[in-house]
Amino acid sequence: MQNQQEEEKIKRYNNNNKDDEKAEDEGHDKETAAPLLALNHVSRLCRNVKESIEFYTKVLGFVPIERPQVLDFEGAWLFNYGVGIHLVQSNHEDRLPSDPQHLDPQDNHISFQCEDMEEMERKLKEMNIKYKKGTLETEEGIAIDQLFFKDPDGFMVEICNCENLKLVPTDSPGKIKLPMDRHTPPVETNRNNDAAD
């Protein structure tokens, strides 16, 4: 019931924006947005798939999911928080980060929203994961807390409370699309329970 109410709210929001777009776009060139729904997955090469599965499940709470058998190379698929992580075994060291210990917040990374930054920092300490902590404060006094650390292969991960910031479009004529839950694949919940019987 709650999901249906949220979907209706998002549809109303998007419909209101369509009316605004028509009014704003009269007499202006319109950029067409891509027909995208949401981020589906991030793919990561890894030295050892099992070690990477352990990291992403124990540190970040991802869940291993079935992977199509047609994929004839070593790897794993994980899913949670509406996004997937696809791990691919690499036998080419030159395709992995060259300095897996160096933490530079301005380097390439994936970022996850966090509801409890103190708990996440405590978890990193307990697991002896090296991290870099920072707080950004905007001109309006809004604080953004960030934790940066690396996965076993040297790919950087950020944990933040970036939802504290408003999304303010600059001079793009496009509109921000809010994700709808329909992009999340259906989850089969009884499969493991049936196997246990």
| Nearest of 50, 178, 158, 51 to residue 113 by alpha carbon | 158
CB-CB contact of 131 with 103 (8 Å): yes
| Nearest of 86, 47, 48 to residue 67 by alpha carbon | 86
- The helix, strand and coil proportions of the chain, stated in percent and rounded to the nearest 5, come to 30, 25, 45
CA atoms of 155 and 108, how far apart (whole Å): 8
DSSP output for 64-101: EE---TT--SSEEEEEETTEEEEEEE---GGGS-S-TT
Alpha-carbon separation of residue 137 from 142, 157, 159, 160, 162 (angstroms): 5, 21, 16, 13, 11
Q: Active site residue: 24, 66, 126, 158, which one?
A: 158
Answer yes or no: 188 catalytic.
Answer: no
Residues identified as active-site: 158
